[in-house]
Amino acid sequence: MDTFAAIAARRSVKHFDPNHVMSQAEIDRLLGAAILSPTSFNIQNWRFVAITDPEAKAQMRQAGWNQAQFTDCSLLVVVCGDRDAYRKDPARYWVNAAPAARDYILPAIQGAYGGNEQLRRDENLRSGSMAAQTIMLAAQAMGYDSCPMIGFDFAAVARIIRLPAEHDIVMAVTIGKPLEAARERGGQLPLSEVVVRDHF
């Protein structure tokens, strides 16, 4: 599917076919696209909890105020971020780079993130959000619909997925085959209202 067509077709679908099963090859293809999403310094700080187990999805639904898409989707991805990714053997993020580039970048990673907890959390939100959009557009291109979700108890979900202490939950994305079409778009603001040239 053309990229612009996928962007135009992607809508937040609330009702999925609960009997549809995604193959492992499809899940791997989808998440293989997600890991091509950009991250600062290529630290690849996103982490994806891919949930297909019915019991786990039922727990997620309970934490998500009984929203049906948690259980009825074919795949539920909890997009997370690792605040400590910057210091977990960062040389592996630049294994294919020239030695001079590695010698410059690796200390810069430590300098940027080593003493800045807020920046590490902010980076999780930025990187995770870009990855979530990649997941949704890739799903659309694969013939699936999706829905980004923050309507759940984050603390409860953290317990369900056994979230490590240094990780943040960014959002969840449900993916599957729709039972009904998404509603019409509510209406987009004109470019003249949201785009400024050079400065406000």
* Domain tally, the chain: 1
Is residue 190, in this structure, part of any structural domain at all? no
The CATH number of the domain where 120 resides is what? Answer: 3.40.109.10
Q: Is residue 181's pLDDT more than 90?
A: no
Cα 53 to chain centroid, rounded: 19
Is residue 194, in this structure, part of any structural domain at all? no
pLDDT at 170: 98
Q: Is residue 61's pLDDT more than 90?
A: yes
Is residue 196, in this structure, part of any structural domain at all? no
pTM above 0.75, yes or no: yes
Is residue 184, in this structure, part of any structural domain at all? no
**Percentage of residues of the chain with pLDDT beyond 70:** 100
Range 174-181 average pLDDT: 94
Is residue 200, in this structure, part of any structural domain at all? no
For residue 183, CA distances in Å to 148, 187, 194 come to 15, 11, 23
Q: Is residue 183's pLDDT more than 90?
A: no
Range of the domain at 147: 3-178
Range 74-92 average pLDDT: 97
Q: Is residue 172's pLDDT more than 90?
A: yes
Residue-averaged pLDDT of the chain: 97
Range 17-33 average pLDDT: 98
Is residue 149, in this structure, part of any structural domain at all? yes
Is residue 193, in this structure, part of any structural domain at all? no
Is residue 195, in this structure, part of any structural domain at all? no
pLDDT at 140: 97
